[in-house]
């Protein structure tokens, strides 16, 4: 009898062992990133650049949630350079085989200055103090660190004024191991031409004072919004357009979303008006069919009700009106972002938090 029982459990557990991974696979959320569309978007943007302006691909924040190393490599033959926010992001790209210029948009701390020398990263500089930090790191490793001067033209976030920019350019000639290769700023409201014009004037003032020290430096003012307004200079830092969205309405270029995030439905319920669903005491106003699916605010998107959600998300689950086998939570993302009081950038960055990433090449 004991042998029969043991044999039964052996067969049961053996079969369960093989079935369990397939079950888990079907229950996981998937972020499907189509690198072919990413390339199409990049080529469309690059075709719109004028007067030899270059394409700088912004892959900070894990390429807005799409996977920085994968996206950077997919764009390698299209992008002229890259931008990231943090030194460690630049290091990750170097280790993934990216050997083109990588601009780090946040100024270096003393603790990470050595990374710029070791990995050949381009620093952002808005003070002579930062220049000194880079000089010391470069001397320690017998390296040359390129840098771009960051100019504040009215966003009042980071950067120096025209006088400070000239001071940095002049001081750079005294320090060994650092080399000014660019100057840039960031547009606060690119969709408003009047504000853009004022920022452009402030940038040109700084640029004209700095280029006397190095006429070959690259000037850049525009991210995706500035590009849509035709402000190219020597290069454009393109982020959100690469991933298929626009910062504001424009016909300057056509792009398509690169990522979909697919969550499986666990159960479908028929509900009556007056019943409740998920947390809260708000009754349904009408009879409906609800799909309960495996995506919650811990997976990345906002808790607040938007789109066809029924009530707010739970931490791990959501409910949508209708019957579905799976749901693409990024469908109609611009509308959902607006209803959630945010922007597509924020939603993309976190949307694939607990997903398996699948890349289409």
Q: Which residues are catalytic?
A: 60, 279
Q: Could you give the dihedral angle defined by the CA atoms of residues 154, 156, 162 and 167, in that order, rounded to the nearest 10 degrees?
A: -170
Residues 6+ apart with CB under 8 A from 222: 187, 190, 229, 231, 232, 233, 236, 237
User: 134 is written with which tokens?
Assistant: 């880079």
Answer yes or no: are the C-beta atoms of 156 and 150 closer than 8 Å.
Answer: no
**229's torsion region: left (phi>0), alpha (psi -120 to 50) or beta?**
alpha
Distance CA 347, CA 343 (A): 7
Answer yes or no: are the C-beta atoms of 184 and 147 closer than 8 Å.
Answer: no
At 347 the three-state DSSP class reads: helix
**What proportions of the chain, in percent to the nearest 5, are helix, strand and coil?**
35, 20, 40
């Amino acid at each position: 009898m004991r042998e029969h029982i043991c044999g039964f459990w052996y067969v049961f557990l053996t079969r369960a062992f093989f079935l369990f991974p397939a079950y888990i696979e079907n229950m996981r959320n998937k972020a499907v990133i189509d690198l072919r569309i990413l390339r199409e978007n990049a080529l469309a943007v690059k075709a719109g650049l004028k007067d030899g302006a270059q394409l700088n691909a912004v892959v900070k924040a894990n390429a807005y949630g799409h996977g920085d190393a994968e996206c950077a490599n997919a764009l390698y033959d299209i992008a002229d350079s890259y931008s990231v926010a943090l030194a460690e992001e630049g290091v990750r790209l170097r280790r993934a085989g990216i050997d083109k210029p990588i601009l780090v948009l946040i100024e270096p701390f003393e603790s990470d200055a050595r990374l710029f020398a070791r990995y050949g990263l381009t620093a952002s500089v808005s003070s002579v103090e930062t220049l000194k930090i880079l000089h010391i790191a470069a001397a320690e490793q017998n390296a040359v660190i390129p840098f771009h001067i960051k100019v504040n033209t009215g966003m009042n976030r980071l950067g120096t004024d025209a006088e400070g920019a000239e001071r940095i350019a002049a001081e750079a000639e005294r320090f060994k191991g650092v080399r000014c290769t660019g100057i840039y700023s960031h547009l606060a409201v690119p969709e408003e031409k009047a504000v853009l014009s004022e920022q452009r004037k402030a940038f040109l003032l700084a640029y004209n004072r700095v280029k006397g020290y190095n006429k070959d430096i690259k000037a850049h003012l525009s991210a995706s919004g500035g590009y849509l307004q035709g402000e190219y200079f020597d290069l454009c830092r393109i982020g959100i357009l690469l991933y298929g969205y626009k910062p504001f309405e424009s016909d300057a270029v056509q792009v398509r979303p690169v990522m979909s995030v697919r969550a499986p439905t666990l159960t479908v319920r028929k509900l009556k008006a007056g019943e409740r669903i998920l947390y809260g005491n708000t009754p349904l106003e009408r009879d409906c069919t609800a799909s309960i699916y495996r995506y919650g605010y811990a997976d990345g998107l906002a808790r607040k009700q938007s789109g066809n959600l029924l009530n707010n998300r739970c931490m791990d689950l959501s409910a949508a009106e209708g019957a579905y086998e799976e749901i693409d939570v990024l469908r109609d993302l611009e509308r959902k972002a607006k209803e959630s009081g945010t922007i597509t950038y924020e939603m993309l960055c976190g949307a694939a938090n607990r997903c398996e990433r699948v890349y289409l090449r």
